Structures are given as structure tokens and as C-alpha cells.
Structure 1
Amino acid sequence: MGPQDYDYSPWLYAAEADDDARARQLAYQRDLGGEIGAGCFVSEHASVRNDELRLGDRSYVAAGAYLTGRLRTGRDCSINPYTVVRGNVTLGNAVRIGAHTSILAFNHTMDDPDVEVFRQPLTSKGITVGDDVWIGSHVVILDGVQVGDRSVLAAGAIVTKDVPAGAVVGGNPARVLRWRVPALRPPEPGDDLATAVATFAGRAREQAADVLARCWDADRGLFTDKPEDPPTVRAQCDAIEIADLLLGRAPDQLPAAEQADRLRGWQDPRTGLVPEFGRTPESVLFDEHGGYHVLSVGYALDLLGSEFPEPVRAVAEATAAIVVDGLERQPWRTHAWHAGAWVDALGTALHWNARKGIAGPQETLVGWLLMRADSRTGMWGEPAPADGLLQLVNGFYRASRGTFAQWGLPVPYPERVVDTVLRHARDARFFRPERQNACNVLDVAHPLWLTRASGYRAAEVTALATTLLRDALTHWTDGAGFGFQAPRSTTRGDRATVPGLQGTEMWLALIHLLADLAGVAPSLGYRPRGVHRPEPAA
């Protein structure tokens, strides 16, 4: 086979190229620059003029292709002969593009009728294509389009609008023809949400014992988050929360009193913290693991009718000055989630201490948050170029959960919170059904539930909650529960998509919040009473 055969049939290169052809190809890739993964092929007869080029492993570019701008692909992507890819384009894993297709992530403006179009400025929104997408030949995708995971674009389609995950689209302009993944089909008018919720809840209750048994390590007498994982402190707490939600009792693996005694015994008497197995406890003001265990162990004990035997001493001795200094040290501008998590742990420690009659600087904590809330967003911190409003919204959830929500206090700017959350929920990077994870959806559901009394943009809040709720119901795996990340066909090996106790506990809780916002919570038949409880704990 001659070298030119690989240019037009590049899928043959991996299996049939000889040593000379491979050496020539690697030298050419080095001359191109960029980041080109293992097993890639780029035809020397393609016009590759990218400002940025990143090709994932086993991807190829055939002869006649014309590439400009910024192109980033995942693994196993194909750009076949005479395909045009221009502008800021991102392809996921396993995106296969037929010949003579044009992906055009820029456009001419034509605002001034007295100036020739080619002299007017260009605009660019970018094009994003998800995982496991088949794009047929002679397809045209215009700037600003986002193509969902597991979709198919039929030959000749002119794609001017976003393509839903799992859809097969075709025509000019492209429209949905059918569903490659029926489970991702949006609900039709008349679909009964309350019935869907009740059906899910019944199935979850029937399978709850199996979900827990799957993660029980009988040899160690401890729960693991996922089978084959090592036991963790949080896994014991998640099991208790799941059993309380779905069964109305403690997990059957051990008597409730024994489970409570074990959790109590893990508290370090010196600091009042619960370290991870094999770790040394540190101050809650600085230790992330110990900080979250203040939440998870404290509320698990509460569900079991018990409490920490000792106060959280790391916080009992904190003065107002120490709290303010800790707040000022947090990375609000760059990592608002981490800052919010710190506040959550601190606020919850103050809550448990108050139950023991130990006063703390709660007023200092709340006062600082009230004074520092941004009147434009209602939150603390700033958006980031890399992930938009994600850190800001997720940090707000954690900070408000451990303070305003836990103590039954109104947040300072509820309407701005709603505005910010609704704007964030339009970010397809995080809220397409196949891109969702428990943290990101929970961190939208809880702020909207917390501010629901304002009545602000209520119809939009209900519509969003309904959409996210329907999505969430599809993420359950029979006999195993929820993975932290929504299951996707191309990420079955990703640990985050494997069902486990953490994902199950979080999705069950956020499903209740969404169902309440959508007006169908009674159909669930459960209400969280632990870490993610909707009502104040104080």
C-alpha cells in the first residue's frame, strides 16, 4: 500500500503502515507542533493552519481537510477528506466526521448595509460537539451550535441550532427525526411528572436493600462507596442517610445503636473532629476531610437519635477575630467552592456546639457574609473564565447551607441569587443530561429552594426544576443506585459514573428539592433529614 492511500483512507494507517511511513508521519507531526496524541495520523495533503491544535489519541485528519483556528479533540476522532473545520471548535471523544462536511465556528457581521460584507468584523461563539457523535457527509454546522453526546447528524444536514443529546437530526434546517437514545427524549405534553416521580421512588425503595448490600464489606464490617473501594467515614454516613430516606430506618447490616456507637467512637477527643481512616485530625479551619465529616458524621448521628460525645473543640475555642481571619484567607475569587466548603464546616461545627450549650461567634460569621455578599449576584466570589459561574454558584450553596439554611435565616439578595442560578443553569457544559453530576445539580436545586419564598421568576424556576428532575430520574441504575456523574455510553469506565453511596445519597436528596420546586414532592414519599435537609436544623 502506498503512502497516499493513508491520506484518503487514514483509518488504515494504524494497522498497515510500515516503519518508514510511521517515522515520516511522526516527523511531520513534530513539524506541525501542537499536542498530538498517540496513534494519530495527519495527512500531509491536508491544510492544517491552526493557532491551537490538540488531537486526542488515535485521531486522524485526512487529505483535503482544511483546519484553522483552535481545534481540540478527544480520543478516536476522525476528520475525513475535504472536511472544513474553522474557528474555535471542540470535539469530544469518538466524534466521526464524514467527508465534505463544514464546521464553521465564526461568522461575518452584516450590520452596516453600506459596507461590503467581507470588510465587516467577524464574530465567533465557538462550536462544541459532545462524545460519541456521528456527523455524516456534507453536513454544515454553524457558529454557536452545541451538539449533544450520542447524537447523529444525518448526511446533508444544515445545523443551525443546538442538537439534543441522543437525537438523530437531519434536513435544512436540521430537526429531530428520531431518538438514538430514547431515554434522553424530552417529555411530551401530557407526560405525568407526578406519576414518573412516584414510579421512581417505588423502584428506589424496592432496591434500597440491594444498593446498600452491594457496598457492604462484610469482612471489615464497613461500607465502601463502591464495591472494591476501601471503606471511608463518609460511606458509613451515606449508607445511614440512604436507609433513612428509602427505608425509614438504619441500614440492616448492623444494629442502629452499634452504628451510632461506632461513629461516636471515631471522634477525636482533642479536636472534636472525625479524621479519615488512617489520618491525623487537624483544625476544622484548615482540614478539608475533617471539615466535611463535621457534616456527614454529625447528621448521621442525628438520624440515629444520637450526637457527638464531645464538642467540636477546634471551633469551640475560635474567637471572632479567628473566624474573620479565616474568612479573609479563603480563595473566594479563584476557588469559591473551597471557600464555601470551609464556611459550611465552620457553621455546622458551631451548630453542633450550640446544641451542647457552647456559644460561638455565629453572629460574626453571618455578619461577614451579609456584608460581603455581592449585590449583583447575591453570592460571594467571582465568575472564572474557565468554568463560568460554576465556582460562584457551588460556593454559594456550601456557604449558605451551613449558615443561612441551617440556621433558618434569609439570604441577603434572594432575587439576585435566582438570577445568577438561572443564568448558570443555561451552561450546557454542566447541565445537559449527559454532562450532569450530583454536585452541580444539587448546588442549583438548593439555592432555588432556599429562595423560593421570594416568588421571583417562579415560572422559570419551576420549568428548570421540572427539566432537571426528569433528567435526574433517568440516571438511576437498577440494583446499584446513582453514580456521582450521569452515566454516558462513552464513559462507562469512568469511576465517577459508577453507582455508589455518595452519588445515590446526593441524587436522592436533590431529587426531593427539585420535586418540591416542581410541585410533585408528595409523590416521592420521602424527605431528607440529614446533611441535605431542606428545613433549618437549628
Structure 2
Amino acid sequence: MDREKSVRHFDHCPWLFAEEATEEQRAAQLGRQQAIDGDSEVGEQCYVAESAAVFPDRLRLGDNSYIAAHAYVTGMLTTGSDCTLNPFSTVRGNVTLGDGVRIGAHTSLLGFNHSMAPDRPVFQQPLTSKGITVGDDVWIGSHVVVMDGVTIGDHCVIGAGAVVTKDIPAWTVAAGNPARPLRNRLEPKAVAAARPGDGGDRLTRFADTARAQAADLLARCWDGGYVDRPGAAPTVRAHCDAVEIADLLLGTAPEQLTADEHVKRLAALQDPGTGLVPEFGEPLPAADADGFIGEGPALYHVLSVGYALELLGASFPYPVRGVREMTAPQLVARLESLPWRDGAWGAGAWIDSWATAAHWNLRQGDDGVTAGTVEALFGWLLTHADPWTGMWGTPSPAAGRLQVVNGYYRLTRGSFAQFGLPVPHAERVVDTVLDHARDARYFGAGQENACNVLDVAHPLWLCTRQLGTSTNGDGYRSAEIRAWAERQLAATLPRWQDGRGFGFGPGATGPGPEPGLQGTEMWLAIVWLLADLLGRSDALGYRPRGVHRPEPARRP
């Protein structure tokens, strides 16, 4: 049997007390805790060293916490559970710790100060106290000094020997005298090491880099017409993506053509009879029985060409005929026939296109749609949303929630978001989207593509704004949303390739990993959404105005 450990041993290694102390030592420890002066409450499974100088005015020591050998505690200390003050640490003044705070040996948290007026000696100066606040899950190394008035956010790590004089944001690794942020814990180390240590905002640096390279990026994809990437064939979308990127980063039209020339090229693509825009070299798509089309590039061109023209100060010259003439019963019949069970993304994309066409048609006059069709659209959507998920469509064992969530983005982008109407069951949407965002098939390391990340970021952004939540962490599941946005932002920014922009993403879905206009346009919008979820989008100096605009295009 091991020799009985002494009180001196437990004072220096208090984590051993719970399992190895004798009954007599436990009774003595309880007496030690009860003898602490001041207004004191000590939680369950705690340890206060006999050799610690604990003379508080008020002490609240949370469960499973300890104060180790020769610690010095005065003033008002409140801790959460699982907090540790290691040997020779000092905590004075007004100090509040969250859950799971580790304070290294010889560290001082000084929640008070002297004033320094020149009219009297320092020892006669009055004391001041703003207090120190430390969040949850924080590791403060040895020989650190934390000064009065400082707040250290959740999940921070403070390096040994640091002198902390200013607030430290959540998830920060900080060190030095005075302490400065070294990196965000959610950001890969290699990325953090590559960033200049100038304390500037990484979002500002990213946006400055993108702006400086935007003209060359667009020129790289010009071959008499715009291609997504060198070697690819010209496409309608590539031209529209070029307009979006130039507007976003440069505030002007792409320099390969004048603004009027861009407008003439894009407007000339619209078929006067149907109002549709086919892909280059492809025939005009045939209309279905209700007058509108069901699939193909022309569906997305309603969005991309319409918004590109708007950014250039123009609009479609003709209405989209199939949407203008569709009746409410025809629309409801189409909605009922969409592939909700096994193709919810396609169903959402169809609604996005129809609703956007209705938006453009209504811009041309009140007869842009048949009376009652827009009301029929929203009535059907509101009565068919699943109250348990907030979604339309059905998950599948093979794809999980991918089709449902991606379809939700397309559907709500063109309808509720574009028309400025609240989505139903917003909290359930957040639950569903966050659950989907944990699916490693789509969000594992290196698996994210622009479509899948956008289709999570936008619903989270849309619902948090609707729920009245803000970036201060008090909203519905806001901590989880912010943590996801931080991780995605940390992973996204390093993917920018100088002079080439962003690739869409790995795998065969979409244009693939080669940097191009589509990937660049989408990821620039995603970066804005992620940054805005974190309250930092102003640092970018840009705000999407096209397909991915955050504001409604119409008001009810």
C-alpha cells in the first residue's frame, strides 16, 4: 500500500486529493474551508491549501476547483466549476472566472490599482477597481500578470510571462509584454504563422489583396468573351460573374468593355419572345405545358444576367413570359410536382428562378405577373414547410440533409429573402442547418465547396437577423453559429490564390478546384456572410449587391 500522502503534498498537488485523501484529511479540509474568513461559499469536491493565504471579502469557489499551495487571495473572487489557482498564484481585487479556468503558478490577477495623481505619495493614493473577467475554458500560463479592467474571452490561451493590459477576444492565443494576439485558435497554425504580426485585421488584409489583384484576375479570364478559367469555353455565367466581381471589389464594370458594351452584350442574350437567356451555342429551351421551363442553365441566367444588368445600371429589356402568364392554379400544380423527395435542391432552384423572374417582371409594371400568383407561391410555401425542420423536402440516407439544406438556400434566396418576408420556423432552421454542418462528407477537412458552405452560411445569416440575434452572443445558438463561422473563415481565406482567386472546391461538383470566376464570386460573398455573422464585415470594405445581396430586392 502507498504511504499516506501529507497535507503538504496535497497543497502542491491538489488534483490528487479527491481520490487519495484519508477520511481524516477530508474532515480537516472541510474544516479548513469552513474557517475561511469573509462571505465565503465553497462548492463540492473543492480543495483549499492549508498554506494558501485566503482572506477574501467575498469568495464563491465553484465545484471541482482548488486553491493550491501559497496562493494569495483577497478581495472578491467568483469562479465557475473546474477552476484552478496553482501554487504561488495571486488573485486580488474583484475577479470573476468562468468554468474551466486554469491559472498557472506564480501568476497574478490584480483586479485593483492605485491612482497616480502627482499631489501625494503613491502609498497614499486611493485604490480603484474595475475588476477582471475571465471567460470559460481559459488557460493562463505561469508568471502571467493580468491588470485591472481586463476581460479575457472564452477559450483563450495566455502564454507564460505575459503582461495582459488590454482585453483579449475569445479563442485568442496571446503572449508578450504587453500581451498581443498571436493567432486565433480556430485558425490553422500554418495560416497564422504566415500572417504579418502587425495586429492588423486579417479581413482587411484579405480584401486589400483581392482588390489589388481583381483587374488581373478578370483579365486572365477574358478571351474575347469571359471564361470561368483559362482554357474553358465562354459562358453566360462567366460574364455575369466578372461583372459581380468587378462591382464588388472595384466598384466599376470590368475594364475589358465599357459599361454600355457590357449592357448591350448581356441584354442581347435575352430572347424577346420568352424572356429567357440560353447558354452560348445551345438552343432556346422548350417551355413546359404551364409556359415556363423546368431545368437547365436558362433557369440560373434569370438570376445571373438580371443582377449583372442591374449592377450595370440596366435591366432585362423583356419580361419572362412564362412567369408573367402563369396562373395561380398552374403555379400550385407545378409546386406540387417538384421533386421534393429526392431532388429538393432542384425544387428550390426552380422556385428561386420563378420568384426572381417575377421580381424582374414586376419591376417593368404591375402586369408582370398574373394576379394572385405571388400570393399563391408564399401561401403554398408557408403551409408546406416542415415545422420540425423549417425545411421543404426530405433527407435521405445516401445524401443526408444536403439536398434539403441546399434547396432551402435557393428557395429562400429567391422568395422570402428577395421579397423581404420572414421565413417560417427560423429556430428549427438553425437546428437543421447546424446539424447538417457537422456532416463530415461535406464539411470535413478539405471537403468544403462553395455551394455547400454558402448554403449553410446564408440560412444562418438570414435566420439570425430574423430572430433578432446579434454578434454579442446572446442569440439562439449564437455561440455555435459564431464558432462555425470562425472555423470556415479561417479555412477559407488561405484558399485565395494570388492573381487567380478562389477555386470552387474539391471533387467533380461544380467547376472543381481550379481558381476561376464562379469560385471567386461565390467565395467573396461567403467571406462577407461569415464575417457579418461575426460582426466583422465592415473590415472587408465591400458588400454584395448582386445575386448574393443581403438586403431584400423587393419589399412587401
Instruction: Note the 1:61-140 alignment, pairs <5 A.
Output: none
CA contact 1:344–1:399 (8 Å) conserved in 2 = yes
CA contact 1:193–1:520 (8 Å) conserved in 2 = no
Q: SS of the residue aligned with 2:499? A: coil
1:326 to 2:346 alignment: no
Instruction: Note the 1:169-188 alignment, pairs <5 A.
Output: 183=190
Partner of residue 369 from structure 2, selected from 351, 359, 366: 359
1:251 to 2:254 alignment: yes
Superposed CA offset, 1:111-134 (max 9, x none): xxxxxxxxxxxxxxxxxxxxxxxx
1:445 to 2:457 alignment: yes
Instruction: Note the 1:131-150 alignment, pairs <5 A.
Output: none
Partners of 1:392 and 1:184 in 2: how far apart? 33
Partners of 1:195 and 1:424 in 2: how far apart? 30
Aligned to 1:430: 442
Identity %: 59
1:500 to 2:516 alignment: yes
Which amino acid letter does the alignment assign opposite residue 250 of structure 1? A
Aligned to 1:60: none
TM-fit CA distance, 1:430: 1.1
CA contact 1:379–1:417 (8 Å) conserved in 2 = yes
Q: SS of the residue aligned with 1:216? A: coil
Partner of residue 217 from structure 2, selected from 211, 220, 238: 211
Which 4+ residue blocks in structure 1 deviate beyond 6 angstroms? 184-188, 191-194
Partner of residue 408 from structure 1, selected from 420, 432, 442: 420
Aligned to 1:418: 430
Instruction: Note the 1:470-509 alignment, pairs <5 A.
Output: 470-485=490-505, 496-509=512-525
Which amino acid letter does the alignment assign opposite residue 483 of structure 1? G
Q: SS of the residue aligned with 1:497? A: coil
Q: SS of the residue aligned with 1:334? A: coil
Aligned to 1:199: 205
1:495/1:393 Cα in 2 relative to 1: closer, same or farther (>3 Å)? closer
Superposed CA offset, 1:26-67 (max 9, x none): xxxxxxxxxxxxxxxxxxxxxxxxxxxxxxxxxxxxxxxxxx
Partner of residue 374 from structure 1, selected from 361, 365, 386: 386
1:515 to 2:531 alignment: yes
Aligned to 1:525: 541
Paired residues in the alignment total: 351
Which amino acid letter does the alignment assign opposite residue 515 of structure 2? P
TM-fit CA distance, 1:384: 1.1
User: Bigger radius of gyration, 1 or 2?
Assistant: 2
TM-fit CA distance, 1:458: 1.6
Partners of 1:386 and 1:193 in 2: how far apart? 45
Partners of 2:317 and 2:464 in 1: how far apart? 36
CA contact 1:378–1:416 (8 Å) conserved in 2 = yes
Partners of 2:256 and 2:448 in 1: how far apart? 31
1:192/1:332 Cα in 2 relative to 1: closer, same or farther (>3 Å)? farther
Which amino acid letter does the alignment assign opposite residue 479 of structure 2? A
TM-score (norm 1): 0.62
Aligned to 2:271: 268
Superposed CA offset, 1:252-277 (max 9, x none): 00001110011111100111000001
Which amino acid letter does the alignment assign opposite residue 504 of structure 2? F
Instruction: Note the 1:230-241 alignment, pairs <5 A.
Output: 230-241=233-244
1:535 to 2:543 alignment: no
1:347/1:393 Cα in 2 relative to 1: closer, same or farther (>3 Å)? same
Which amino acid letter does the alignment assign opposite residue 487 of structure 2? T
TM-fit CA distance, 1:193: 9.9
Superposed CA offset, 1:444-476 (max 9, x none): 010011111313212211121111111111211
Partners of 2:532 and 2:455 in 1: how far apart? 15
TM-fit CA distance, 1:183: 3.8
Q: SS of the residue aligned with 2:201? A: helix
Partners of 2:387 and 2:198 in 1: how far apart? 39
Aligned to 1:56: none
Aligned to 1:466: 486
User: What is the Cα-based RMSD across aligned positions, in Å?
Assistant: 2.5
1:303/1:278 Cα in 2 relative to 1: closer, same or farther (>3 Å)? same
Aligned to 2:355: 347
Which amino acid letter does the alignment assign opposite residue 466 of structure 1? E
1:534/1:186 Cα in 2 relative to 1: closer, same or farther (>3 Å)? farther
Partners of 2:436 and 2:325 in 1: how far apart? 38
CA contact 2:323–2:369 (8 Å) conserved in 1 = no
The structure showing larger relative contact order (alpha-carbon pairs under 8 Å, at least 6 residues apart) is 1
Partners of 1:247 and 1:273 in 2: how far apart? 29
Which amino acid letter does the alignment assign opposite residue 211 of structure 2? R
Superposed CA offset, 1:374-413 (max 9, x none): 0010010011111211111000000000000000000011
1:193/1:459 Cα in 2 relative to 1: closer, same or farther (>3 Å)? farther
CA contact 1:194–1:523 (8 Å) conserved in 2 = no
TM-fit CA distance, 1:192: 10
CA contact 1:483–1:496 (8 Å) conserved in 2 = yes
1:228 to 2:231 alignment: yes
Partner of residue 323 from structure 2, selected from 315, 321, 328: 315
